[in-house]
Amino acid sequence: MKLRIQSINFDATTTLESYINKKLLKLEKNFDEILNVEVYLKVVKPETATNKQAEIKVSIPNIDFFASKTCDTFEEATDLTLEALDKQIRKHKEKTTKK
């Protein structure tokens, strides 16, 4: 699995990057066909309390999954985005195993 984390208009800390990496490894345990993952972190304008956005794109053979969440912290946004992706991947996995 190739992982690319891109922080837009700010510098992500190594702590944040390692947190995201750790969470993505859990996703890979559930679904081993993941080719690459692209994570986009950005601060949404205007400056409100919930202005941290995480967008994650997961690519597997022949299909891409995408989710985006905006929360108070990047960690919370990442967690919620990965939950949404996990649901999408499980649904796809169920469809393909039933065929």
Q: What is the mean pLDDT of each run of 10 residues along the chain (99 residues)?
A: 90 92 87 91 82 94 94 94 93 82
pLDDT for the residue numbered 69: 95
pLDDT for the residue numbered 15: 94
| Nearest in space to 1 (alpha carbons), one of 26, 83, 98, 40 | 26
pLDDT for the residue numbered 37: 94
Topology adopted by domain 2-98: Double Stranded RNA Binding Domain (3.30.160)
pLDDT for the residue numbered 99: 58
